[in-house]
A and B are shown apart, each in its own frame.
Chain A
Amino acid sequence: MDTRNDLGVVTPRRRQDRRALQRCLAVLGTTLLAVVLLPLAACGKDQAATELSGYTREPVPDVSKVVLPLADGSGTLPAAATKGGYRLVYFGYTSCPDVCPTTMSDLKRAIRTLPADQRGKVDVAMMTIDPDQDLPERLTEYVDTFFPKNGAALRASDPADLAAVAGAFGASYSVKPKADGTPEVAHSGDLYVVDDRGKVVLQWPFGVGAESMGSDLATLFARQKSASSQ
């Protein structure tokens, strides 16, 4: 089956050329505009002031006292990142084929764009909101699929512990059995960026994309640098 768009047949060649020319002119116009406007907009701005794609809540949530339970039962992880780094915390579940893998995959690609020294300071912690289905082994395999080196699988068998951790971040979820016995799961799709003081400095809603996540992380590192050099 031919799935291509047979544009050449429908649209006369000359019309396309003209449109291309128009578009080139338009691009030229935009460039001229940008040349005039950019220096104005960039006045007094440096890289550290670049706008972020994610958002920050006010007041900035403090999760410095929160401990994250490791799925394998080996202990806990502080919610705060290691010194100078960022810990990315996500609340999801393994039978989620759409939202969770998209976010994890985008994040993986985003981290890859960072220079090696920064990349080494970023890790990912995913907490299951469905601990009944996501037994430790399954959850660990899931996280390892995306982050074999810098990922942590989190699971609390006590629902109250899960609620406490999720609540500290502002994540919400619900798992209810459907008529056919399979669980109906709803969850907030945000990804939380925690710094080394345990502050949730940034939050990405679902769909932000790898590119924006990567540039946001780069901006956060750049801000750190400019703050410490002052």
Chain B
Amino acid sequence: MQLSLKKSLLTLVAVVAAAALFAPACSSSDDSSSSTTEAGSKELKVSGVWARQVMDSGAVYMTISGGAEADALTKVAVPADVAGEAQLHETVMGDMSTTEMEGADDMGGSMGGSGSMSMQQVQQIDVPAGEIVQLKPGGFHVMLMDVKKDLKAGDTFDVTLTFETAGTKKVTATVKGV
């Protein structure tokens, strides 16, 4: 312990620079931020599945941790009484081609990142080996169309994910309020 403490002190200077990023916790639990490489499990895992609904449309988000092999999420399904259809989507930031866009065509170039955002259906979401892929607002998401239920915060529903290699996984989405 004495030695490791010394070592720690020696690395202190180097660590200080990076410390701001990790500063929130002194606890030894929840160390996921720095352990993904060494703790890389062999199995693909899905966590933090949540959903949001507004009227007849909705979105499901989650974190997918890649396994030992490269994989891809190719299909998603939800019970018929939740939504009529579930699709894999991606929100993309595109360059606004001013000739095609209505509105501000006199914006005079970059005004600090107000790019054009649009959604498109994707055939699959790649999950490289050992990497974490986030389905999150403004990026990949499962889009729910023709939502049939009036989902309340805290409600849960099944989401069936089909991966190329890992096969079918059933996970539970928890609804967040608007």
Contacts and interface: CB of A to CB of B under 8 A. Distances in A.
Interface string B1-20: 00011001101110110111
B171 A5 contact: no
Given A1-B170, A186-B118, A173 B54 contact: no
Contacts of B107: 170, 172
A26 B25 CA distance: 11
B16 A173 contact: no
Contact of B12 (A11, A29, A97, A138): A29
B92 to A, nearest CB: 9
Contacts of B32: 5, 7
Interface residues of B, number: 68
A207 interface: yes
A167 B137 contact: no
B138 A29 contact: no
A104 interface: yes
Contact of B104 (A1, A169, A186, A205): A169
Nearest to B91: A98
A199 B77 CA distance: 46
A172 to B, nearest CB: 4
Interface stretch (A12-20, A79-87, A220-228): A12-20
B11 A108 contact: no
A26 B8 CA distance: 9
A163 B104 CA distance: 8
B127 interface: no
Contact of B102 (A16, A24, A141, A173): A173
Chain B at the A interface: SS class: mixed
Contacts of B41: 5-6, 10
Interface in B163-177: 169-171
A227 B89 CA distance: 47
Contacts of B16: 26, 29-30, 33
B3 to A, nearest CB: 10
Interface string A111-141: 0000000000000000000000000001001
Given A3-B48, A185-B118, 4 more contacts: A5-B32, A21-B4, A99-B117, A166-B103
Interface of B: 4-5, 8-9, 11-13, 15-16, 18-20, 22-23, 25-28, 31-32, 34-35, 38-39, 41, 45-48, 52, 54-55, 57-59, 65, 89, 91, 94, 96, 98, 100-107, 111-120, 137-138, 141, 143-144, 169-171, 178
Interface of A: 1, 3-7, 10-11, 16-27, 29-30, 33, 55, 57, 91, 94-99, 101-102, 104-105, 108, 138, 141-142, 145-146, 159, 162-163, 166-167, 169-174, 184-190, 203, 205-207
Interchain residue pairs A-B with the least CB separation, the first 7: A166-B103, A186-B118, A20-B28, A102-B137, A26-B19, A3-B47, A97-B57
